[in-house]
Chains A and B, each alone.
Chain A
Amino acid sequence: MSAAAVQSGVHEGFEAGQAARAADSGRLAAKFGALKQEGRGGLVTFVSAGDPDYATSLKLIQGLPAAGADVIEIGMPFTDPMADGPSIQASSLRALKSGMSLRRTIQLVQEFRATDATTPVILMGYYNPIYSYGVERFLTDAKAAGVDGLIVVDLPPEEDVELCVPALNAGVNFIRLATPTTDDKRMPTVLQNTSGFVYYVSVAGITGAGSATEDAISFAVERLRRHTDLPVAVGFGITTPDAAAAVARLADAAVVGSAIVNRIAANLDENGLASAGLVDDVLAFVRTLADGVRAARG
């Protein structure tokens, strides 16, 4: 297919700039603006909604801002998380087993929002539960609950009319993944309808697998900055405070997922239920990541 054909598919029925700007005026833009003023990179933390159960998950998420998370990324559990490694697959299944659904995930954000009006929350997941819920209804409910952005792994720019364009029109950021396989020719297509920030997937692979070298990340961030003024967050394979610090020196934020999720898994009893110290232990780990990120440019 020609590049022109791809482009026409991407633009169908949408005035990109306006809605993207409207979406940007919220908590995410404020947060990245504040980080810039502080002169540091941010920490984006990932957990699956309802892992290992709704009440524990809510308590954990409510504790994240004080532990130093700048942006909260919440996984919408799905039975078939194709781009995720074993850790996040397992967390997704634990959440589903405890009775999570997309409705409950939105409720979780709403309950969090009641106690925190400023920390940006983004939902990450796969398209089918959203499609099943109904795109318009989902956007209305998510926005009302206080969701700031969406990362939907299996919606590339070629499928922008599905959710990306309606989300931008509804004032919800649509955060796109850029990857090592996204070359300079394709990058504008990927960035076209992206808002909030760009999530750079630093290794071609699944979550929690290998990690990229600092040189490779530095090169990739520079490349992205040539294409966009949006903040750049880097994720995949960041498991330690040092690694988070290294990324925070180069990019606008570091995303940590599997390592946090593993910490949840390590605090389950033999029946897979949350042990008493789970929330404190996971938040303590997040604090070490946040300290790393904060010391990075010191």
Chain B
Amino acid sequence: MPQSIMQQLNTYRSGPDEQGHFGIYGGRFVAETLMPLILEVEQAYNAAKVDPAFKAELRHYLTHYVGRPSPLYHAERLTANLGGAKIYFKRDELNHTGAHKINNCIGQILLARRMGKRRIIAETGAGQHGVATATVCALFDLPCTIYMGETDIERQKPNVFRMKLLGAEVKPVKSGSRTLKDAMNEALRDWVTNVEDTFYIIGTAAGPHPYPAMVRDFQSVIGEEVREQMIAAEGRLPDSLVACIGGGSNAIGLFYPFLDEPSVKMVAVEAAGHGIETGAHAASLTGGRPGVLHGNRTYLLQDDDGQITEGHSISAGLDYPGIGPEHSWLHDVGRVEYISATDNEALDAFQMCSRMEGIIPALEPAHALAGVIRIAPSLPKDHLLVMNLCGRGDKDIFTVAEALGVQI
């Protein structure tokens, strides 16, 4: 089976198999109406990824539109303060639109154009993926519909307005719990209804095959740059990598190029919300179990009956009851360590980063930083640690103000 094949070849990078499986995870759990289209996307992606013209076009937009490569920055004050590992930030918050999401959106919209699709849909939770999708749709003049839960629309008004400014239609989702998972359900319902002309840009490394692999590949530019930049800066590979994880696209983008480097340790930080023990969290690996949702088998937050439960996190971007299937596999085989940080730990890290490095991080990477704060002090000073600062925090200032009891 796939897992044993990977172990035989001594690589963690050969997944998924032809059926889209990472070990027992992944797959294509979608309605028959979508299956022919999913196969079409897979075929188109397989052709595009080896086409020099596609790669050149992608490279062009990443360089001149997104602003890549993003810097690898030595966070000196933070390093001195924590007194352990030498901490670097991968500055993906400096990308156009302020997060790593755009790396994937550029890739997928170029694929959609290759496939002759004339309409784009996407789901969004915090609004970052929605903004990135609306941005690339404006760039390529394609009509764009973004599904967003009514609850999230209320919580993320600035991003809703951004999407509208960019020309997207934001459709409020009133079904279910009115958050990200319901937005994804609604986007899938739209796709099933408009199969002929529509391309669905999924925002994280989850969903039916080939999405988890495709999103990973588009986000792997993060880790590939880190490898080059770290060798230029320190003459060797990093010792550890740290990233936050909701669906897990920024984490897999950072980790994937290093999976077969045994010396590189990887830590992903899930959102523990009010604490795993309270049940109000979004830590699918720590507090969930394997199940099937949104086209893939993966760890899910669910009750005894297999009903999906709500994730909670102060970060709307981590507030999803599932996780990308490759992470589920990496968790089970033990290649990546998955830990969690609470809302309060993330809030502390958010403030620390703002004051100590002059960078207001998004609440998502604030979780990664909370992990760094926990593990860095006990590491030796020559230990090279890279944290993915995958988004900037402008969108979160209202949430943080409210959490801190500040009127703005």
Report if A82-B31 is in contact (Cβ < 8 Å); known contacts: A131-B292, A186-B36.
yes
Q: Does A179 contact B (CB under 8 A)?
A: yes
A130 touching B36, Cβ below 8 Å:
no
Per the bound structure, the CA–CA distance linking A9 and B37 in Å amounts to 18
Residues of A within 8 A of B307 (CB): 78-79, 96, 129
B29 touching A155, Cβ below 8 Å:
yes
Residues of B within 8 A of A16 (CB): none
B176 touching A80, Cβ below 8 Å:
yes
Interface of B: prevailing SS = mixed
Per the bound structure, the CA–CA distance linking A82 and B308 in Å amounts to 13
B181 touching A158, Cβ below 8 Å:
no
The chain B residue with its CB closest to the CB of A3 is B39
A129 touching B28, Cβ below 8 Å:
no
Residues of A within 8 A of B182 (CB): 80
B32 touching A182, Cβ below 8 Å:
yes
Per the bound structure, the CA–CA distance linking A130 and B290 in Å amounts to 12
A82 touching B33, Cβ below 8 Å:
no
Q: Does B27 contact A (CB under 8 A)?
A: yes
Q: Does B30 contact A (CB under 8 A)?
A: yes
B176 touching A5, Cβ below 8 Å:
no
B28 touching A156, Cβ below 8 Å:
yes
The chain B residue with its CB closest to the CB of A105 is B305
Q: Does A101 contact B (CB under 8 A)?
A: yes
B306 touching A133, Cβ below 8 Å:
yes
B19 touching A127, Cβ below 8 Å:
no
Per the bound structure, the CA–CA distance linking A179 and B30 in Å amounts to 13
Q: For window 310-340 of chain B, which residues contact chain A by CB distance below 8 Å?
A: none
B302 touching A176, Cβ below 8 Å:
no
Contact residue among A9, A158, A180 (Cβ-Cβ distance under 8 Å from B35): A158
> How far apart are B324's CB and chain A's nearest CB, in angstroms?
17
Instruction: Scan B279-294; emit 1 where CB is below 8 A from any A CB, else 0.
Output: 0000000000011111
Interface size on B, residues (CB 8 A): 41
Q: For window 175-209 of chain B, which residues contact chain A by CB distance below 8 Å?
A: 175-176, 181-182, 185, 188-189, 192-193, 195-196
> How far apart are A78's CB and chain B's nearest CB, in angstroms?
7
> How far apart are A39's CB and chain B's nearest CB, in angstroms?
30
Residues of A within 8 A of B196 (CB): 204
Per the bound structure, the CA–CA distance linking A11 and B292 in Å amounts to 22
Residues of A within 8 A of B30 (CB): 154, 156
A177 touching B36, Cβ below 8 Å:
no
Per the bound structure, the CA–CA distance linking A80 and B177 in Å amounts to 10
Residues of B within 8 A of A6 (CB): 39
Contact residue among B28, B32, B192, B300 (Cβ-Cβ distance under 8 Å from A205): B192
Report if A177-B32 is in contact (Cβ < 8 Å); known contacts: A79-B307, A80-B185, A127-B292.
yes
Residues of A within 8 A of B39 (CB): 1, 6
Contact residue among A5, A81, A129, A159 (Cβ-Cβ distance under 8 Å from B29): A159
Per the bound structure, the CA–CA distance linking A79 and B307 in Å amounts to 6
Interface size on A, residues (CB 8 A): 48
Per the bound structure, the CA–CA distance linking A83 and B191 in Å amounts to 10
Contact residue among B43, B185, B300, B304 (Cβ-Cβ distance under 8 Å from A82): B185
Q: Does A201 contact B (CB under 8 A)?
A: yes
Contact residue among A5, A132, A190 (Cβ-Cβ distance under 8 Å from B18): A5
Report if A93-B306 is in contact (Cβ < 8 Å); known contacts: A80-B181, A158-B19.
no
B31 touching A153, Cβ below 8 Å:
yes
> How far apart are A102's CB and chain B's nearest CB, in angstroms?
6
A128 touching B292, Cβ below 8 Å:
yes
Q: Does A17 contact B (CB under 8 A)?
A: no
Q: Does B42 contact A (CB under 8 A)?
A: yes
B305 touching A201, Cβ below 8 Å:
no
Q: Does A86 contact B (CB under 8 A)?
A: yes
B19 touching A181, Cβ below 8 Å:
no
Q: For window 1-44 of chain A, which residues contact chain B by CB distance below 8 Å?
A: 1, 5-6, 9
B305 touching A179, Cβ below 8 Å:
no
Q: Does B295 contact A (CB under 8 A)?
A: yes
A-B residue pairs, 8 tightest by C-beta: A132-B306, A129-B306, A205-B193, A101-B305, A179-B33, A154-B29, A83-B31, A128-B306
**What 12 additional pairs, Cβ within 8 angstroms, besides A83-B189, A133-B305, A204-B196?**
A101-B304, A102-B305, A129-B307, A131-B292, A154-B292, A181-B32, A181-B34, A182-B36, A204-B195, A206-B192, A206-B193, A209-B193
| Contacts A/B (CB < 8 Å), 28 sampled | A5-B18, A78-B307, A80-B182, A80-B185, A80-B293, A80-B294, A82-B188, A85-B189, A93-B176, A101-B304, A126-B292, A127-B29, A128-B293, A128-B300, A128-B306, A131-B297, A154-B30, A154-B295, A157-B35, A158-B35, A177-B32, A181-B36, A182-B35, A183-B36, A186-B35, A205-B33, A206-B192, A206-B193
